[in-house]
Every structure is written in structure tokens, then in C-alpha cells.
């Protein structure tokens, strides 16, 4: 069986390559950048009113289905929560008590991610993934407080998989972002025109934003960038060009769309594509004192299998999760089924209105519930345009009226939604009692109207 033998040799060579020691400089630089960006984000959140708007002002938050029991801390608890995250981010940047700090931050970020689904964006999902990846990275072995405090852990190398996993994650994000752009509203320039219409009065670029040719250029350039940037970064001959394009692309997005730390986090990933010696020369002028140079990483067979299994499961998860929209019928931008965690970035805008009719068949009483009295405009817009959140709100109304002595009430959602400024139409069937419906995460919900 020559073919089987070759396959075994290839598998063995790949496995050995995963654990080959390589220069740790890119990982260390990324840790510093990542920690700084997390710190900046936490401080910005404390100062810009986001905590009050997202966690204190709403009567309650919309957690993921099944996790509704997760709610924000009462009183000023969320301010202290985010302030503690800022402290953890500083420790991550400095490499101080790194494992504890990184793991704690990942847990706290996950909690924030899960308790407020109405504030979802792909950037927060990316930070979630990278935070958990960094938990398992030996990112405190060099230029870190931990390495100074305990010189025996210092090392100038790390296993190859510690570099490849970031390249893989970036490749997945960009690939699915490119594939998701293959829609009429993207290539016609309609979506970008909608986005740029809000910027027509910009004092510097307002005139340019309103030009059709510029809108189409951004559409096609954005698609090609997402599709080709990782291959261009991987090849040495095109790497410098790709670096320049990345800087232009992400700085333009940051300036135009105000995307927070995401553009700069994307730029921080670039350290994994350049030669480690170059990264070390640019960022670390002085050679560190290594107490014990680790030349090889001796993992037991069991530990190797465990690491490979975990990497394989993670890679499979990342490749399959963005495919979820294809198992549902209908337009994912309308139904939202499989939308989250599928890297569909800046591809649709929705607006709508909604109210709920609560009917008690025993007393024949009818009540109108207006969520606009409980939520600010931003959260109300998400509620009105997200079927799963509409269903969660209907279930909550059912519980509220049950506690008032009306255990058999029926709940109906009435409203209209516009997708990408098209004619508004009902998003959900207003004749369906949503209080009796269960969310089906892997099956299309028939009570969501067709688009």
C-alpha cells in the first residue's frame, strides 16, 4: 500500500512541523498589541456611555436563547466589571500573571458577549475567539513580567502551531467575509451607497463618498481584498504590497465607519506573516537575557494527540459554523438564521417597527405592548428586526402575564421591516401565537415570513 505509506509519512511530517520550535517574537508582539487594544476598548467603553446604554438603561438584555438567566450586574456593577477588564488587559499587555489574567479576561468577555445579543457584531466575536486562543499560548515567555519574575520559563521559541493558528483564523474570517459579499446589493453598490449616504456632509470626503464610481470601487476592492489578502501576505514577493494594502484598507474603514479596535486588531495580525527575525529586529532592539533556551518542545505522545485533536476540532468548528446559513431556506439577511458568527460583515441594514398584541382567550381581554416604552431606539431597532429576539420577547411577555394571573395568554408580533431600504413588509406572521413557539437553531422557522 504505497499510497497509505505516503499518507502516513505526510501526516507525520505535518505533525512534526506543528511542534517545530520557531522564533516567538511575533507572538510576543501580538500579545502587547492585543493587550493594549483590549485596554483601550475597556477605557473607551467606560467613558463613552456604552455601559449605561447597553446594560443599565434597558429593562433587561437579550441573552442568547437558553441563556436568558444571564443578566448584567445591578447598580454600578457593570462599571466595576469593565474597569476590572481594563486592569486585566494591562496585565496581559505586560505579561504579568498572564495565564490568570488572560483566562479571566476571556471569561469576562464571553459573559459580555452572551448577555447582550442585540449589540452583536463580528468584531466582538473575533475578540472572543482570540481571547480564548491566547489563553493557551505561551505568550509570557519573553518581554514579560512573568519571565522576569521566573526566568526559568523564558524562551525565545514557541511551537509552530502557535503562529499558524492565528494565520488560519484570519484566513477563515477573510474568506467567509468575501464569499458573503457575493450578493446583488453588494456588487450593485447599493449597500455601500446606503452607508455613504450618511457621510455626504463629511467636511473632507463628503463629495467623494457620494460618487457612484467611488462606491463601486469600494465594493469591488473590498471583495478582492477579503478574497486575496491572506494569499498575498503568505507569499514573500507580494507581502510588502499586501501590508500596504492592509494599512490603507483598515485605516480607511476606521476613519469612515468608526469600527473601534477592529481595524487595528486586524493590522496586529500582520506580525504573524513576516519573518520572525524581522519582527524581532523592528520591535525589540535589545536582546533579552534567556535563562534557559528552549531548543525543542518535548511533548508526550498523549499530549501531542490532545493538542492535535483540539486544533482539529477548533479548525472544523470554524470552517463549519459559517456554513450554517446554507442549511436554512430564505434570505439570511432577512431571517437572521445562521447570521451570527458567520463573518457576514457590513452587508445589510435593517429598520423597522413593532408592537405586540397580548390576548387572553378566557377573559377576552386584549393588551397592546409597545417595547418602545422600555428600550432606547438602538435596542428597539434590533428587537424589531431580529426574529429570534422577537420570539424571546414574546416568551417574556407570556411569563409576565402569567405572573399577573393570565396563564393562557397568546402573544402576537405586529410590525414591518425594511431590508437595505427596500419596501417594508412584515417580518413575522402576525397570526402565529409566538408564546407557543420554540426556537429551532437548526431548522427554518415557518413563522418568519418569506422575502
Tens of pLDDT, residue by residue over 357-378, are 999 999 999 999 999 888 888 8
Rounded CA-CA distance 408/360 in Å is: 6
Give me the DSSP letters along 149-164: H-GGG--SEEETHHHH
Domain spans in the chain, listed from the N-terminal domain onward: 19-159, 161-259+299-341, 349-436
CB within 8 Å of 15: residues ≥ 6 apart = 304, 308
The pTM of this model reads 0.93
Q: Quote the cell numbers at residue 411.
A: 402573544
Q: Which range has the worst mean pLDDT, 99-103, 128-132, 303-307, 426-430?
A: 303-307
**CA separation for the pair 199, 207 (Å, rounded):** 9
For position 295, what pLDDT does the model report?
44
CA–CA distances in Å: residue 135 to residues 104, 131, 391: 9, 6, 35
Better pLDDT: 84 or 294: 84
173-211: per-residue pLDDT in tens? 999 999 999 999 999 999 999 989 877 777 777 788 989
Confidence class for position 9, pLDDT limits 50, 70, 90: low
Amino acid at each position: 500500500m504505497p499510497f497509505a505509506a505516503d499518507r502516513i509519512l505526510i501526516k507525520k511530517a505535518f505533525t512534526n512541523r506543528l511542534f517545530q520550535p520557531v522564533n516567538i517574537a511575533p507572538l510576543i508582539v501580538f500579545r502587547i498589541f492585543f493587550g493594549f487594544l483590549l485596554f483601550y476598548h475597556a477605557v473607551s467603553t467606560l467613558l463613552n456611555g456604552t455601559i449605561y446604554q447597553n446594560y443599565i438603561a434597558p429593562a433587561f438584555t437579550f441573552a442568547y436563547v437558553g441563556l436568558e438567566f444571564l443578566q448584567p450586574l445591578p447598580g454600578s456593577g457593570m462599571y466595576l466589571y469593565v474597569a476590572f477588564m481594563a486592569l486585566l488587559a494591562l496585565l496581559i499587555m505586560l505579561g504579568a500573571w498572564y495565564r490568570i489574567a488572560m483566562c479571566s479576561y476571556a471569561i469576562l468577555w464571553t459573559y459580555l458577549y452572551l448577555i447582550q445579543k442585540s449589540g452583536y457584531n463580528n468584531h466582538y466575536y473575533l475578540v472572543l475567539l482570540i481571547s480564548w486562543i491566547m489563553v493557551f499560548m505561551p505568550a509570557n515567555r519573553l518581554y514579560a513580567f512573568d519571565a522576569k519574575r521566573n526566568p526559568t520559563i523564558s524562551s525565545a521559541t514557541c511551537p509552530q502551531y502557535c503562529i499558524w493558528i492565528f494565520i488560519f483564523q484570519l484566513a477563515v474570517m477573510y474568506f467567509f467575509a468575501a464569499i458573503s459579499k457575493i450578493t446583488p446589493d453588494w456588487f450593485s453598490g447599493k449597500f455601500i451607497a446606503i452607508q455613504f449616504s450618511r457621510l455626504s456632509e463629511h467636511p473632507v470626503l463628503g463629495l467623494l463618498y457620494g460618487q457612484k464610481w467611488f462606491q463601486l470601487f469600494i465594493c469591488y476592492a473590498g471583495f478582492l481584498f477579503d478574497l486575496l489578502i491572506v494569499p498575498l501576505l503568505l507569499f514573500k514577493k507580494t507581502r510588502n504590497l499586501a501590508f500596504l494594502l492592509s494599512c490603507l484598507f483598515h485605516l480607511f474603514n476606521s476613519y469612515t465607519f468608526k469600527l473601534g479596535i477592529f481595524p487595528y486588531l486586524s493590522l496586529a495580525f500582520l506580525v504573524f506573516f513576516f519573518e520572525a527575525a524581522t519582527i524581532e529586529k523592528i520591535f525589540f532592539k535589545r536582546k533579552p537575557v534567556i535563562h534557559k533556551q528552549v531548543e525543542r518542545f518535548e511533548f508526550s505522545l498523549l499530549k501531542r494527540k490532545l493538542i492535535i485533536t483540539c486544533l482539529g476540532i477548533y479548525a472544523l468548528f470554524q470552517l463549519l459554523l459559517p456554513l450554517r446559513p446554507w442549511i436554512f431556506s430564505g434570505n439570511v439577511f432577512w431571517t437572521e438564521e445562521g447570521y451570527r458568527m458567520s463573518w457576514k460583515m457590513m452587508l445589510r441594514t435593517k429598520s423597522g417597527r413593532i408592537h405586540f398584541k397580548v390576548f387572553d382567550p378566557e377573559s377576552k381581554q386584549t393588551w397592546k405592548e409597545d417595547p418602545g416604552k422600555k428600550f432606547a431606539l438602538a435596542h428597539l431597532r434590533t428587537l424589531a428586526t431580529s426574529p429570534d429576539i422577537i420570539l424571546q420577547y414574546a416568551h417574556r411577555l407570556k411569563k409576565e402575564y402569567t405572573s399577573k394571573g393570565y396563564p393562557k395568554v397568546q402573544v402576537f408580533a405586529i410590525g414591518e421591516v425594511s431590508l437595505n431600504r427596500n419596501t417594508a413588509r412584515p417580518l413575522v406572521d402576525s397570526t402565529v401565537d409566538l408564546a407557543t413557539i420554540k426556537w429551532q437553531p437548526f431548522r427554518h422557522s415557518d413563522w418568519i415570513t418569506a422575502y
